[in-house]
Structure 1
Amino acid sequence: MTEHGFDLPPKAPPEVIAQRNALADQACHALAQAGIPVHRIVLGGESEGRPGAEVHVDPLADGGVLVEWNTSPELARAAVNLLAGGVDPSDPPFMLRHAGTVQTCMRAALLEILASARFHVEEADGHTYGSAVHVWGFRP
């Protein structure tokens, strides 16, 4: 228990983190081979927000290797500004629909590219990881 009275989720042991780091490096290599701009975020590092695939390791016991797609800062900023101003969900503005389509298409592309490279992948839990791709390991 922490000083604030609640339990923090358990972290993965160092050997698991080492395995995840190796897997993350291999995923970066596979994406780079496919011509995808890829950025490796070191454990504990912050998102750089650069366009392309961002690969990082979640240190929690039930975490893993995650790949997220970043659009250009211009498109991301436009979507955030629209959301901050309030949006009618039944008729979202073009730029917000476009940003959502880009995220959906790029997640699908990342899933297919990594699966083709023999990684075991799936859509990550949306509540915890948003639109990320979860990389679990290699398929035989």
Structure 2
Amino acid sequence: MDTSATEQRVRGICLGLPEVVERDSHGSPAYFVRGKRGFVHLMAGGHHDAGFPQMWCAAGPGVQQELIAADPERFFRPPYVGHRGWLGVRLDRDPDWSEIAEVCTDAYRAVAPKGLIEKLDGGQ
């Protein structure tokens, strides 16, 4: 999948969540709840020595370890934010876009205020 197609797929997923905005962060698209709390950072062209398309996502407690243990070919501990539990996801190995949407939604849930999570769940 080419870089622009990957970027468009992730953009569509993230901007479909309540009150999400996209901003450039270090030369790559990143997604923020209410413009403040980041939850997905996309590097469709890779990051430094890791030249594969990837995204880094906020994750709940224990999720990073669980997913990396279950599938270390797709998930990894990203630099800079991995120590805070963020999850790295490879996007170069025929990604399951339903799973990518679930990971992005879970990342959103990890940082969004309760009212927006209720809105996401259809409560408002």
TM class by smaller structure: 0.3 to 0.5
More strand by share: 2
More relative contact order, 1 or 2 (CA 8 Å, 6+ apart): 2
More helix by share: 1
TM-score, normalised relative to structure 2: 0.38
Greater C-alpha radius of gyration: 1
TM-score, normalised relative to structure 1: 0.35
